[in-house]
Every structure is written in structure tokens, then in C-alpha cells.
């Protein structure tokens, strides 16, 4: 065999092996050597792990769009198209489509915006054009919106921020979605018109009709692992490149047309790694809670009626852009609500305890972190009346003082003695003793000077007078530059408290419910607030706390033939 022919055969074998190993990630190109066609992998860019919503692409509305190939990916009569978008244009602009309206072929689907309203249109068998109708919400307000279009045989629907806003059913007209035209983002590709002006992120195409609950469950979190029905998935988590990586189950990388690297920018979409949600006309009694991988958790409450939907999401890694190097927590959280006038309370509960009273906040992933003073509770940080949306992270600032002990005891009918010790101090200005009858509303009683900077142990004491009533106590340590840190909270009973048989409460503090494991079904329960008012009754060994305002309560349990027993319960 001639050496040249042998060389060509070996080359073909090597290239074939390379193509097999990369076929799933890279779209092959062709090279022709005489009558031999070689399929070569084209390496242009790769998906990267960016935290939160990562990056997005900016479309100029003139000539930029993405060609995602002509494969139908198994889509015939059902499809769901999702994306996060931001625009101010009132023109006719297409978000994502696989659509053709020609003399010989009328098939496909397209999600588009006209005069600020969202539509999902397409064709049925016989080339009949159908539409979901317009969304009630105008999405060209310059804010990020999640948009979705769903086709289920003969029903067409359009969603904005997780809410079905319009739909239409066409009897006897089944969708005809497979077309020879390319899947395109930001353009009607067959005519090179209706170009999108604004930002697009997290484009997903499913070969199934998602329900409203499925859309809500996925809209604020990355999809991983990718299910078979998610056939195209462009997250745009790249920093540069001329190719948009497709992470779907039937991938075809998208070819960027007329973009430059400046188009890859931080995204402001509301996306995390896990999420939970609540929708409805009145969410005032709703309590959303979500835990991150490290055990930190976030809670959203007191949602006003100006919003009918709230999403809470968690990002299980540090942000790509830290506020100050080394001060970011390992996780952070975000809240996204429909509309821009509703408010909510946000509570951050670090699993390892509080490192101070400061929370980092930013409007979204594309914003700048700033410090916000929070209201500290025994084991959480509270921000009240937050508006619309934001992202939140505990400020991981090293404490200036190493506190080794803190205790309080009743020293007399009117006095409480507090003592604490430090192992070392750095730039410590003073300690303020605070008192709260309910465990939340703390007031200062007095201050003790700190040691500045010292590597030796120091002991401190403070006497609270007059202090005849039961109360909670804590220390507020102030650094020389004004930074504050908070001690654990301790409780001291009233002067006339008498010993009683302990009543076991699990957990305590509690939020959704509290268990009394030693009680039977015959027990009667009464929950009393700090003013002596009865706020909740129940029977048995479980008491629901839903709708109870956070604070300190007395829980009394009575069983036949036994004296009533009480215990203090802290509701968070």
C-alpha cells in the first residue's frame, strides 16, 4: 500500500475517534479531500460555571441573532419555549422561533413581542395560523421578565413571570411544528427581520407542553441534570466566543451572527441553583423558606397584596463578583416578585451563627453589592419591607473580638448580673448590653469600654437595674471603625418565677409548628402572647404556628388529672 494512502487512512481513524469523543459538545464541520469527506470537530468556546444567572447576550436590534440549526429535535405537536428577557423596545421583535411562512411551507412556532405584549403563535396542519393572544403584562418596561410559550396539540398559551396571561384552543386544528427553518434566537430568520433589541438569557426549548406549576418550579433555577424533554438549552454562561453552547439533550451549538465579545455581559435574570415559590391574590400569611447546600436558609414573609407571585432562590457558591475579596459567604439568596411595588420581609439564618448585623445586598446578578444594616434576632438577620427583588448574602467579616463566654443570672429581685470573657480583641471600642422582653425588640442598657487591641484574656461584668421582669439579653460589640457584632442571646426569668415541671418543646425557636412529644391526644394547648392574650388553641402533641407573628409566647399544656405546665416559646 502506498505510504500516502496509509497516512490518509490513519488520519481518518484518528479524526473519527476525536469526532466521537467530542460529537456531543461540538457541531462538526466538513473537510473534503478528493472524494473523501472528513467530519472535523470545530472548537470555538466552552460553557463555563458562572454563579447565579452568569452572563447574558445583548442584542442590538439591527443585525445580531443566533442560528441554532435546522434540527427539529423531535418537536412535532407539543413544545414549550422559555427565556429571560429585558427590553424597552415597542417594536415587533422575536425572542425564539422555529417558523416558516412561505408559499410552499407554513409550519412552526414563534415567541415574540409586539408593542410590549408577549405572544406565542404558530401553525396547525393545513397551514392555518393560530395564536395564544396577547399577554396582559407589558414586558418592555426595562425590567427582567421570564417569558414562556406553550403549545399542547391545539392549545396555545403565553406566560409572564410564571403566570398564564392568555390562551386559545382551536378545535380540530392540531399543531404542525416541524419545519425546515432553523431554530433562531432574536430574529425571524427566514426573512432576517423582527430582530430583538435588548438582553436575552437562559433560553430553553422543550419537546413537551409544560404546566404552569412546572414553569414556576424551573424559571428561577438552573436545570441540572438535563431531562430528555429539554432538547435545547442555551444558558449563555460564557465570557466570550462566537458559539452559544447548547446544554440540551439534543444539542446543536448556536452560531452567533454579528456579535462581538462586548455582547457577553453579566445577566440580571433571577436564577439560582434551587428555588421555591408562592402565587396567589393574597400572600400575606405565606411563609417561603429555602435552605442552601451549606445549611444556611432564607425566609420570606409579610408579602403585600401588590404582588401575586414571589420566587425565592439559592445560589450554592460564592458570587462571581465579590463585594470585597474574602468577605463573601459560601452561598447567597435572591427574591423575585411580580410587579415592582410589592414588599416583603427577608430573613437570613446562617447555619454557623451570626458574624455581625450586616447583610450584603444587590439588585440582581448584574448589580453592585452594598452593605445593609439588618435587625438581628437570636439566630437570624431581618430586613423589612424589601421591594420587588434583590439578592442577599451574609457579610463574612472576621470578628474583631473572640468571645469565649457570656452569661446572665438573676442576682436579686430587681437586678440581673451579666458576665463575659474574651480571649483576644482587635480594635475593640466597647460592649453595649441590650435587653428585650420579647426576644426581638432590644434596647440598650449601658456600655463597657473594650480593650482596643489585646492578645490577652479579659473579663467583664455589668449589672442590669431595675430588672424585675423576664427578659432576653445580648451584647453588641462595636469596633473602632463602627463595625458591629452580636453575641448569642441569653434569657433570665422574672424575680417571682417559681420552679415548675419542664414542658418539652421541639423545636424551640419554632416557625411552622411545634411538637410536645411527651403529650397524648387528650392534652389541650393554649398559646398566650406577651400581653396575656390567647392567640392560638389546640389539642394533642402538635400545634400549628402558621400565621403567628414572630415573638415570645407562653405555651400552656393541660392534661386530665395533672397540673397545667407552661414553657416559653420563641416563634420566628
Report the chain (572 residues): mean pLDDT per 10 consecutive residues: 42 40 36 34 49 95 97 97 98 97 94 98 93 98 98 98 98 93 97 97 98 97 96 95 96 97 95 97 93 94 94 95 77 94 92 79 94 81 93 77 87 92 90 84 91 91 89 88 80 66 82 88 84 81 88 82 78 83
Residue 156 has what pLDDT? 98
- Cα 237 to Cα 566: distance, rounded to the nearest angstrom: 55
Q: Are residues 436 and 287 in the same domain?
A: no
What pLDDT is attached to residue 184? 98
Task: Find the helix or strand (DSSP H, E) in which 452 lies.
Answer: strand 443-454
Q: Both 69 and 175 in a single domain?
A: yes
- Same domain for 388 and 411? no
Quick one: pLDDT at residue 351? Answer: 85
Contacts of 213 (CB under 8 A, 6+ apart): none
Do 108 and 177 form a contact (C-beta atoms < 8 A)? yes
153 with 109: CB under 8 angstroms? no
Same domain, 166 and 262: yes
Q: Are strands 163-169 and 106-114 parallel, antiparallel or unpaired?
A: unpaired
261 DSSP assignment? G
The answer to whether residues 292 and 318 touch, using CB atoms and an 8 Å cutoff, is: no
The CATH number linked to 220 is: 2.60.120.200
- pLDDT score of 440: 66
**Non-local CB neighbours of 441 within 8 Å, separated by 6+ positions:** none
For residue 50, being part of any structural domain is answered with no
Residues 377 and 423 both lie in one domain = no
Contact 89, 140 (CB under 8 A): yes
Question: β-strand 471-479 against 415-436: which pairing, if any?
Answer: antiparallel
Q: Which of 53, 4, 87 is nearest to 365 (CA)?
A: 53
Residue 43 forms part of a structural domain? no
Strand partners, 221: 272
d(CA 31, CA 18): 15
Residue 562 resides in a domain: yes
- Domain span holding position 351: 274-394
In a domain, 242, yes or no: yes
Quick one: 406 and 464 in the same domain? yes
CB 198 within 8 A of CB 86: yes
Alpha-helix runs per DSSP H in 171-267 = 212-218
Question: Does residue 380 sit in the same domain as residue 309?
Answer: yes
The predicted pLDDT at position 571 comes to 85
- Distance in angstroms (rounded) separating the CA atoms of residues 123 and 241: 34
| Cβ count within 10 A of residue 180 | 14
* pLDDT at site 97: 98
Q: What is the pLDDT of residue 562?
A: 72
Same structural domain, 343 and 385: yes
In this structure, are 75 and 152 located in the same domain? yes
Last residue within a domain, chosen from 330, 360, 394: 394
Residue 75 lies in a domain: yes
In this prediction, residue 40 carries a pLDDT of 34
Cα 11 from Cα 411, distance rounded (Å): 90
- How much is the pTM? 0.70
Residue 415 counted as domain residue: yes
Judge residue 34's burial from the number of C-beta atoms within 10 Å of its C-beta, 0-12 exposed, 13-18 middle, 19 or more buried.
exposed
Per-residue burial over 429-458, b = 16 or more CB atoms within 10 Å of its CB, e = otherwise: bebbbbbbeebbebeebeeeebbeeeeeeb
SS3 of 404, please?
strand
Answer yes or no: are the C-beta atoms of 527 and 537 closer than 8 Å. yes
Look at residue 65 and tell me if it is in a domain. Answer: yes
Same structural domain, 356 and 208: no
Statement to judge: residues 133 and 259 lie in one domain: yes
DSSP 110-168: EEEEETTEEEEEEEETTTEEEE----SSB--SSS-EEEEEEEETTEEEEEETTEEEEEE
* Distances, alpha carbon 419 to alpha carbons 181, 452, 458, 467, 480, in Å: 76, 19, 11, 16, 22
Domain boundary among 333, 365, 394: 394
The confidence score (pLDDT) of residue 467 equals 86
- CA-to-CA dists, residue 70 to 179, 235, 252, 255, 290, angstroms: 8, 20, 9, 12, 40
Position 12 scores a pLDDT of 41
User: 326 and 475 share a domain?
Assistant: no
Considering the domain boundaries, does residue 40 fall inside one? no
425's grid cell:
480583641
Q: How many domains, the chain?
A: 4
Here the CATH number for the domain that contains residue 424 is: 2.60.40.10
Task: Decide which of 394, 424, 449 is a domain's last residue.
Answer: 394
Amino acid at each position: 500500500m502506498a505510504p500516502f494512502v496509509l497516512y490518509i487512512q490513519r488520519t481518518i481513524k484518528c479524526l473519527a475517534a476525536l469526532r466521537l469523543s467530542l460529537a456531543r459538545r461540538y457541531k462538526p464541520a466538513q473537510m473534503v479531500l478528493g472524494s473523501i469527506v472528513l467530519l472535523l470537530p470545530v472548537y470555538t468556546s466552552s460553557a463555563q460555571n458562572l454563579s447565579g444567572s452568569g452572563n447574558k447576550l445583548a442584542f442590538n436590534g439591527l443585525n445580531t441573532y443566533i442560528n441554532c440549526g435546522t434540527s427539529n429535535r423531535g418537536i412535532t405537536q407539543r413544545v414549550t419555549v422559555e427565556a429571560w428577557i429585558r427590553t424597552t423596545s415597542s417594536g415587533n421583535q422575536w425572542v425564539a422561533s422555529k417558523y416558516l411562512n412561505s408559499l410552499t411551507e407554513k409550519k412552526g412556532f414563534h415567541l415574540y413581542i409586539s408593542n410590549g405584549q408577549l405572544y406565542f403563535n404558530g401553525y396547525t396542519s393545513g397551514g392555518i395560523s393560530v395564536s395564544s393572544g396577547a399577554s396582559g403584562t407589558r414586558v418592555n418596561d426595562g425590567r427582567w421578565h421570564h417569558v414562556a410559550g406553550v403549545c399542547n396539540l391545539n392549545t396555545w398559551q403565553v406566560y409572564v413571570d410564571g403566570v398564564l396571561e392568555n390562551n386559545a384552543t382551536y378545535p380540530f386544528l392540531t399543531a404542525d411544528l416541524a419545519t425546515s427553518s432553523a431554530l433562531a434566537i432574536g430574529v425571524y430568520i427566514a426573512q432576517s427581520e423582527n430582530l430583538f433589541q435588548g438582553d436575552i438569557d437562559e433560553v430553553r426549548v422543550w419537546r413537551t407542553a409544560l404546566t404552569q406549576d412546572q414553569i414556576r418550579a424551573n424559571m428561577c433555577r438552573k436545570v441540572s441534570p438535563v431531562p430528555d424533554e429539554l432538547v435545547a438549552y442555551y444558558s449563555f454562561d460564557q465570557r466570550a466566543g462566537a458559539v452559544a453552547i447548547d446544554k440540551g439533550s439534543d444539542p446543536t451549538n448556536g452560531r452567533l451572527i454579528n456579535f462581538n465579545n462586548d455582547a457577553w455581559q453579566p445577566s440580571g435574570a433571577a436564577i439560582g441553583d434551587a428555588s421555591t415559590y408562592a402565587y396567589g391574590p393574597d400572600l400575606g400569611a405565606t411563609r417561603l423558606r429555602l435552605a442552601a447546600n451549606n445549611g444556611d436558609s432564607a425566609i420570606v414573609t409579610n408579602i403585600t397584596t401588590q404582588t401575586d407571585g414571589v420566587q425565592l432562590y439559592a445560589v450554592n457558591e460564592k458570587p462571581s463578583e465579590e463585594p470585597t475579596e474574602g468577605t463573601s459567604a459560601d452561598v447567597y439568596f435572591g427574591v423575585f416578585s411580580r410587579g415592582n411595588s410589592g414588599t416583603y420581609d427577608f430573613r437570613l439564618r446562617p447555619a454557623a451563627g451570626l458574624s455581625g448585623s450586616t447583610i450584603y445586598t444587590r439588585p440582581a446578578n448584574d448589580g453592585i453589592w452594598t452593605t445593609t444594616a439588618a435587625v438581628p434576632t437570636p439566630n437570624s438577620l431581618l430586613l423589612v419591607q424589601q421591594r420587588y427583588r434583590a439578592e442577599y448574602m451574609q457579610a463574612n467579616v472576621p470578628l474583631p473580638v473572640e468571645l469565649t463566654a457570656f452569661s446572665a443570672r438573676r442576682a436579686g429581685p430587681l437586678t440581673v448580673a451579666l458576665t463575659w470573657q474574651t480571649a483576644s480583641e482587635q480594635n475593640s471600642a466597647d460592649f453595649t448590653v441590650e435587653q428585650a422582653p420579647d426576644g426581638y425588640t432590644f434596647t440598650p442598657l449601658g456600655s463597657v469600654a473594650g480593650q482596643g487591641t489585646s492578645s490577652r484574656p479579659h473579663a467583664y461584668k455589668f449589672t442590669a437595674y431595675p430588672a424585675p421582669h423576664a427578659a432576653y439579653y445580648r451584647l453588641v460589640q462595636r469596633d473602632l471603625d463602627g463595625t458591629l457584632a452580636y453575641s448569642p442571646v441569653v434569657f433570665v426569668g422574672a424575680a417571682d418565677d417559681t420552679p415548675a415541671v419542664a414542658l418539652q418543646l421541639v423545636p424551640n425557636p419554632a416557625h411552622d409548628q411545634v411538637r410536645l412529644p411527651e403529650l397524648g391526644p387528650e392534652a389541650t394547648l393554649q398559646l398566650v402572647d406577651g400581653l396575656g392574650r390567647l392567640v392560638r388553641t389546640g389539642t394533642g402533641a402538635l400545634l400549628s404556628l402558621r400565621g403567628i407573628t414572630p415573638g415570645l409566647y407562653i405555651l400552656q399544656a393541660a392534661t386530665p388529672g395533672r397540673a397545667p405546665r407552661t414553657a416559653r416559646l420563641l416563634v420566628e
